[in-house]
Structure 1
Amino acid sequence: MNVTFKDVAELANVSTQTVSRVTNGSLNVAPETREKVNAAIKQLGYIPNKGAQILGRAKSKMIGLVTLDILLHGASLLANGVRKQAKNLGYGTSLSVIADPAIDKITTAVDDLKAQRVEFIIMNIPLSSDNAEMLVVQYSSIHFVFIDVPPDSQVNSVSGASYNGAKIAAELMLSLCRKRLLFINGPQGSSASRLRLQGWLDVLKEDADSKIINQFEGDWRASSGYRCMRQALSDGHDFDGVLVANDQMALGVLRALSEFNLSVPQQVSVIGFDDTVDSAYFTPPLTTIKQDFLTIGERAVLLAFSVADKAKKSYRHESIVTELIERKSTQAYRPPQANEQKIKVLLKQIEKLLIE
């Protein structure tokens, strides 16, 4: 009876993938595990199939993509850019979606893609410089391109110009005489989120009359924008403009403002970020900062192939320009007319009488 990988794996109490790594001479195996596998091979008299090993070492015609939830518009559009460019180069795309961007989850995803013999992996996951650089060292046979890492990271990366886009949004708010602003930012762990916040802050600190009423942290989803805005309104914050770090959260913001009977843009102006395909159809249509996710995905693939062709290790960062798209969720601040003030006073008097 022929001895198989499975027989060796069962005797050594390891996975068949681990047996494959040992027989292929992979360094990514703990010494004690390697000893157990070799002992099982010797005991069973297992003879590796060299032809299968040679075939297994063949390079994959797939590009790996480790990404955030593709229900997020930005992640979905970026994945499409990767897929299209990979297809142009004669490659398929192998997708790994991660809900929790913890480093152990990320390394597991990379291990799975490496087992498929991929050479190129696009990382659309928020990572610190240390973790991104650690992945490059740990998986030296893979050509990585990162989408959401700090600009000074010693890795290859492509991203939208978050800082510049955020500055444009804040400058527009001030030009419309919107001086009391609320910030709804993305997750703190995201470099793109931190850059947008810094862009807003840098513009407002140059204007002595402007004021940051409060800051909230969302998770890129519409539901978090809704919750943050509900919280701000329930707390009684007085603001006339809201800067939001992406369009999906801005959608939630618009709903909450509507539920509190605040008119957009008359009482409150709202600016998003991304210019997702649906933002032109929000109520009202959303003013936003356009970020070309499709191009970011395409450029990431081209950068991965470009650096693979270079013998010398040098890291490159590409920044894709962002631009302002003005729609109907913003307008210049107009002080309430005298009759409006009188109506408000009368309503308060009526309310007081009803209570009494």
Structure 2
Amino acid sequence: MSVTFKDVAKLANVSTQTVSRVTNGSANVAEETRIKVNAAIKELGYIPNKGAQILSRAKSTMIGVVTVDILLHGASLITNGIRKQAKQHGYGISLAVVSTHTYEKVTAAIDELKSQRVEFVILNIPLSKEESEQIQTTYQGMHFVFIDVPLDSQVNAVYAANYEGAKAAVNLMISLKRKRFLVITGPNDSSASQQRLAGWIDSIEAHPDAAIVDQFEGDWLASSGYLHTQQALSNSCQFDAVLVGSDQMALGVLRALNEFALQVPQQVSVIGFDDTADSAYFTPPLTTIRQDFLLIGERSVLMVLKMAEAELQSVQQEFIETQLIERKSTQLYQQTEDNKDKLRALLKQ
């Protein structure tokens, strides 16, 4: 009877994956373990399958992408950035969309990518610190970059500067004399959403006469912005500014305000987050915080490839700057009145 990997693993008291790493000459094996495995190989007379070794050493030409629903604007652009940068380096992408954000669903997607012999994986999906670190520990031999994890996670990650962008949004509102804030966040399981909320809160608390009068958890989509604003107004909530976690939700906010006959920006100022292509064409055009989704995707590819080339010796975090984009949804009331006066003058001519 021929000797198998399992026989060697049993005698050496290690996993079959460890036996594979030893026979393939991987450096990621402790010297003591290597000696023990080689001794078992010699004792059993095991002869490695050279054909299998050649296949196992073949370089993967795919980068795996585990992402939230790509119907979401940001997820779609990040994926496009990954695809473009991967192509420049001779890689394609293998896409796994995870609509239900559970650890089990994410690891199932990684397992599927692993079965395709994908070595490099970018995860654009909400994960906790513990989950992201566990993935990195569990899947030895694979290289990961994370996009939506807590800042204290000991994993390689690329982030938008969410906290700084959120503070810039509040500072603009304060400069416009806005004091009573309605807040609509993204999902609570998203670290990006939590970073934005932290920026809003810290900036508002720095101004004693400003306050959050109500807060809701949205889901990034326009419908949640609409429904939560309706709920706040139906409860007679008094606010003069709305901080919104995404432009898509802000679209719903603007519709709800319009249905309640509240004028933007005369009575309520609204600011979103993302700077989607459509936000400049909302009614009124939306002030927002721009984040470069394409660049986030591109930098994620560069980071994961550096890991593969052993150029990253420690955990790396990269922050992509955000930018305040001012439009009419936060325009000063006096400016709006001036425009009305100009229009009246033109009509009299």
Fold shared per TM-score above 0.5: yes
What whole-Å deviation, never above 9, does each CA across 1:179-235 have from its counterpart, x for those lacking one? Answer: 111000011111111110110111111111112110000011111111111111111
Distance 1:50 1:99 in 2: 41
Aligned partner of 1:269 in structure 2 is: 269
Matches within 5 A, 1:320-335: 320-332=320-332
Residue 216 of structure 2 aligns to a residue whose secondary structure is strand
Aligned partner of 2:187 in structure 1 is: 187
Residues 307 and 50 from structure 1, CA distance in 2 versus in 1: closer, same or farther, beyond 3 angstroms? Answer: closer
Determine whether 1:58 maps to 2:58: yes
Distance 2:94 2:307 in 1: 20
For structure 1, the 5+ residue unaligned runs are 1-23, 29-47, 338-356
Residue 148 of structure 1 aligns to a residue whose secondary structure is coil
Distance 2:179 2:205 in 1: 12
| Counterpart residue identity of residue 152, structure 1 | D
Aligned partner of 1:156 in structure 2 is: 156
C-alpha contact 2:306 2:312 (8 A) present in aligned 1: no
Any runs of at least 4 consecutive aligned residues in structure 1 with deviations exceeding 3 A, and if so which? 24-28, 48-57
Distance 1:296 1:183 in 2: 26
Distance 1:57 1:227 in 2: 53
Q: CA deviation at 1:255?
A: 1.1
CA RMSD of aligned residues (A): 2.0
Aligned partner of 2:25 in structure 1 is: none
Q: With the length of structure 2 as denominator, give the TM-score of the two structures.
A: 0.80
What whole-Å deviation, never above 9, does each CA across 1:69-91 have from its counterpart, x for those lacking one? Answer: 00100000000000000000000
Q: CA deviation at 1:259?
A: 1.3
C-alpha contact 2:65 2:123 (8 A) present in aligned 1: yes
C-alpha contact 2:229 2:256 (8 A) present in aligned 1: yes
Residue 323 of structure 1 aligns to a residue whose secondary structure is strand
Q: CA deviation at 1:262?
A: 1.1
Aligned partner of 2:79 in structure 1 is: 79
Residue 125 of structure 2 aligns to a residue whose secondary structure is strand
Distance 1:203 1:332 in 2: 20
Determine whether 1:289 maps to 2:289: yes
Residues 112 and 27 from structure 1, CA distance in 2 versus in 1: closer, same or farther, beyond 3 angstroms? Answer: farther
C-alpha contact 1:178 1:333 (8 A) present in aligned 2: no
Matches within 5 A, 1:337-356: none
Q: With the length of structure 1 as denominator, give the TM-score of the two structures.
A: 0.79
| Counterpart residue identity of residue 250, structure 1 | A
Matches within 5 A, 1:234-249: 234-249=234-249
Aligned partner of 1:318 in structure 2 is: 318
Distance 2:60 2:307 in 1: 18
Distance 2:66 2:195 in 1: 22
Distance 1:107 1:54 in 2: 27
What whole-Å deviation, never above 9, does each CA across 1:4-42 have from its counterpart, x for those lacking one? Answer: xxxxxxxxxxxxxxxxxxxx95479xxxxxxxxxxxxxx
Q: CA deviation at 1:60?
A: 2.0
Distance 2:312 2:193 in 1: 32
Aligned partner of 2:42 in structure 1 is: none
Distance 2:234 2:57 in 1: 60
Matches within 5 A, 1:99-178: 99-178=99-178
Give percent identity, aligned residues only. Answer: 62
